[in-house]
Structure 1
């Protein structure tokens, strides 16, 4: 006997599509539950706090336009529906001075407010601008390698791979460059992102107010090992920072030109490393490596001088473009 489905229980194509949309929205709810923990909205430093406030203020100003438009669109669709015989029918209507004043004045005022706000915040949050503090800044030199991060502490003569440690409430003055590919240094909970380029030096100033370990990353695609360019950014107490320096100095490894060449070899999932000594001026030599060189002179690890690779040409081109 063939079962018979009651017509009222048969799913129509439109019904199935509607059910699919609701199912898709329900499947997204677990992802939305984690939105409160987004790192950008959980700042742990003054720069990140100011940036979050700027995002929220700008979003609120935009909503002043978006929300009324959505509400009025829904109201007009309901008010002037075909079945509403009470609505005014005016087929020849074409202009209202009051409406024109409203729809032009409000956006213009918002643009003026945004212009003033962004002008002030752009200067206040300039990554090159030092952070005012009673404490002397900690200097850190950052080199983006393939695919790992090198951090050099010139004042303490130590260096690390894929580990950034800074004292709490102490400004950190970063100098950044890249060994080859353009990259981007970013610790969302501490503040601004800045790019790194071969043959160029950029600067960044950050500060952490709460001890903890925060996610550091590369935010610009730089090849197959891009996803491995992650590091812990640890904000610690003064005592813990001193203890960490003692651990780094006890490693017995020295970072010189030969060791740097080994680090420059592209690797995936590079482990944390510490160096108890660093050659003086190593960072400056990395920055100046490509200055005054032709394409046929730029070599990556494993290449011979004179044999220009596509990657080498890209590096030289990016360096010249940045300088111009």
Structure 2
């Protein structure tokens, strides 16, 4: 049965509208497209700009492909022109070479600028002092240490709204990737190295965080809640942990390192220099450009700020 031309166009238009409505409605559910911080917002905009620029080429190509297949199909009485000796058109050559080259050049400029603007170890501009959180990837859990507050948590991250967070990230396990999609992109957690990542939550709420790298049997359970709260609530939370939670000892940390999955828990204190000890015990064996004096300096240093965002005494060029 032959389908009327108007009915075909109506079906096509309905499908396009349906796809548009679906994609629009899913934006809130696709968390990388629903940013809650300045870094994630810039990354979302970069993805959208790149997608739009690519669509300038992809959509016309797909439409023309369908038109050509339909117009030049094998059909009795076909009226489409047939030019077997046609070989060159300067105008068409300029179009199908010039437009892609212009788009690629535009993407290159945008990507380079965004790469420098979104450098992970670059401090965020803010009127308040950043809070440092030391992140250690374990099998199969996350340990968060707050050196300024003197507390630690497992699989629970609470941060004050509007305050930049300076994450110092390492691993006491196979390499993983620290990721809070609504706040920013991934940063690898590697043994013997301390990577720096600045993020910030502009809104209060609970966000999802996880490990984004395969690390064994229970890697899928390496997720955690990120709770963005007001400064007063954050201070009350710190005080509650200090008064109600147990102490994390070295023996307790050795038990945490053992492969296992855990629910969220908290500690009122942790051994001084625990993060630095975790980094240097692998750095000494892996020899990431560190001398014995560098490791001693790092273990005793209270200043975690450096020009390029790395831990003092560490050569991050490796």
TM interval, short-chain normalised: 0.7 to 0.9
Q: Indicate yes or no: 2:45 matched with 1:53.
A: yes
Distance in 2 (alpha carbons) for counterparts of 1:240 and 1:261: 31
Distance in 2 (alpha carbons) for counterparts of 1:87 and 1:31: 37
Equivalent residue number for residue 275 of structure 1: 267
Report the CA distance shift for 1:36/1:271 in structure 2 as closer, same or farther (over 3 A).
closer
Equivalent residue number for residue 132 of structure 1: 125
Q: Indicate yes or no: 2:96 matched with 1:103.
A: yes
Query: Post-superposition shift, 1:54?
Result: 0.5
Report the CA distance shift for 1:31/1:111 in structure 2 as closer, same or farther (over 3 A).
closer
Larger Rg computed on CA atoms: 1
Equivalent residue number for residue 276 of structure 2: 284
Query: Post-superposition shift, 1:30?
Result: 9.7
Q: 1:162, 1:272 within 8 Å by CA — same for their partners in 2?
A: yes
Query: Post-superposition shift, 1:82?
Result: 3.2
Q: 1:184, 1:196 within 8 Å by CA — same for their partners in 2?
A: yes
Where does 1:1-324 land on structure 2 (aligned, <5 Å)?
Answer: 34=26, 36-83=28-75, 85-268=78-261, 270-293=262-285, 324=318
Q: 1:199, 1:289 within 8 Å by CA — same for their partners in 2?
A: yes
Distance in 2 (alpha carbons) for counterparts of 1:207 and 1:292: 33
Query: Post-superposition shift, 1:188?
Result: 0.5
Query: Post-superposition shift, 1:73?
Result: 1.1
Tell me the number of residue pairs that the alignment of Structure 1 and Structure 2 aligns.
Answer: 269
Which string of whole-angstrom CA distances, capped at 9 and with x for unpartnered residues, describes residues 77-124 of structure 1? 222233353322111112111111111100000011001000010011
Q: Which moved more, 1:239-248 or 1:284-293?
A: 284-293
Query: Post-superposition shift, 1:323?
Result: 7.1
Report the CA distance shift for 1:31/1:202 in structure 2 as closer, same or farther (over 3 A).
same
Query: Post-superposition shift, 1:247?
Result: 1.2
Distance in 1 (alpha carbons) for counterparts of 2:285 and 2:92: 63
Equivalent residue number for residue 3 of structure 2: none
Query: Post-superposition shift, 1:35?
Result: 5.5
Distance in 1 (alpha carbons) for counterparts of 2:201 and 2:86: 60
Q: Which moved more, 1:115-124 or 1:34-43?
A: 34-43
What TM-score, normalized by structure 2, do the two folds share?
Answer: 0.80
Q: 2:166, 2:196 within 8 Å by CA — same for their partners in 1?
A: yes
Question: Residue 244 of structure 2 aligns to a residue in which SS?
Answer: coil
Question: Residue 280 of structure 1 aligns to a residue in which SS?
Answer: coil
Q: Which moved more, 1:79-88 or 1:90-99?
A: 79-88
Distance in 1 (alpha carbons) for counterparts of 2:206 and 2:58: 38
Distance in 2 (alpha carbons) for counterparts of 1:90 and 1:30: 43
Equivalent residue number for residue 10 of structure 1: none
Query: Post-superposition shift, 1:192?
Result: 1.6
What TM-score, normalized by structure 1, do the two folds share?
Answer: 0.79
Structure 2: give runs of 5+ residues left out of the alignment. 1-20, 287-315
